[in-house]
Amino acid sequence: MKYRLSPLAIITLWLNRVINGCVIGAQATFDKGFVIMHPVGVVINSKVRGGIDITVESGVVIGDEKGKAPLLGNNIFIGAGAKIIGGITIGDNVKVGANAVVVKDVPSNVTVVGIPARIINKPQDEKC
């Protein structure tokens, strides 16, 4: 299905790109509560899909790899400079640390950090 943007939406996308260096694909979809704390350097591919209450810091890239883009759950925080790439799924209630590079699925209720990203905490009911 193809979407058509209104002239106002096209102007807003262009201004955001010029002023902030922020590029959000016109067909990217997020539910309510999508917040970009600092838009400088944020790049989000058109194929990205996100749930509710997603917070993005500056310099974040959420991108496509080989035609597949990430699917983001609900209540996610993405730290400054983080990269989420490819056809992966990020579960609910996830924190992605600053500068983390996420290239594999992330389960719900965890925090991931590092390059490549790894889980540093697990839900209370799981044993290490």
CA gap 61, 59 in Å, rounded: 7
Count CB atoms within 10 A of the CB of residue 90. Answer: 25
Phi, psi torsion values for 69, nearest 5 degrees: -120, 160
Residue 90 scores a pLDDT above 50: yes
Pairing of strands 43-44, 23-24: parallel
Classify residue 2: in a domain, yes or no: no
- Residue 128 maps to a domain: no
Instruction: Write out the residue range of the structural domain in which residue 95 sits.
Output: 7-121
DSSP state of 98: T
- pLDDT at 85 > cutoff 90: yes
Q: According to the model, what pLDDT value does residue 93 have? A: 97
Looking up residue 35, the CATH number of its domain turns out to be 2.160.10.10
pLDDT band at 101 (very low <50, low <70, confident <90, very high): very high
How many degrees, rounded to 5, is the angle at CA 109 between CA 128 and CA 35? Answer: 150
In a domain, residue 126? The reply is no
Q: Model's pTM, two decimal places?
A: 0.84
Domain count, the chain: 1
